[in-house]
């Protein structure tokens, strides 16, 4: 077995901070001028009294720190 707890993640020191994470894609614009974003996957969901109320969404092109809980449409 291999104990990975001793490993450390190190970023490439030659990269600028903006190169570590590519910029997010531009949002899509609908016919009414509203912004729309693409869902890459649903990570989780929440139920209240047996009714699904919201979803944890991972947005395409965004890092996990930008995942968000969104209400059921």
Take residue 14 and report the two structure tokens written for it: 């030659």
Whether the CB-CB separation of 31 and 18 falls below 8 Å is answered with no
pLDDT, tens digit, for every residue of 12-36?
A: 667 666 656 778 888 899 999 999 9
Q: List phi, psi (to 5°) of 64.
A: -55, -25
Which residue ranges make up each domain of the chain? 39-73
pTM of the prediction? 0.64
Which of 6-15, 36-45, 49-58, 60-69 shows the lowest mean pLDDT across its residues? 6-15
pLDDT of 7 over the 80 cut: no
The mean pLDDT value of the chain amounts to: 85
Percent of the chain with pLDDT over 90: 52
């Amino acid at each position: 077995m291999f104990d990975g707890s001793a490993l450390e993640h190190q970023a490439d020191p030659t990269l600028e901070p903006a190169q570590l994470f590519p910029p997010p894609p531009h949002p899509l614009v609908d016919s009414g001028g509203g912004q729309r974003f693409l869902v890459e996957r649903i990570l989780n969901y929440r139920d209240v009294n047996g009714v699904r109320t919201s979803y944890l969404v991972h947005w395409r092109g965004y890092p996990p720190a930008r995942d968000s809980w969104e209400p059921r449409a």
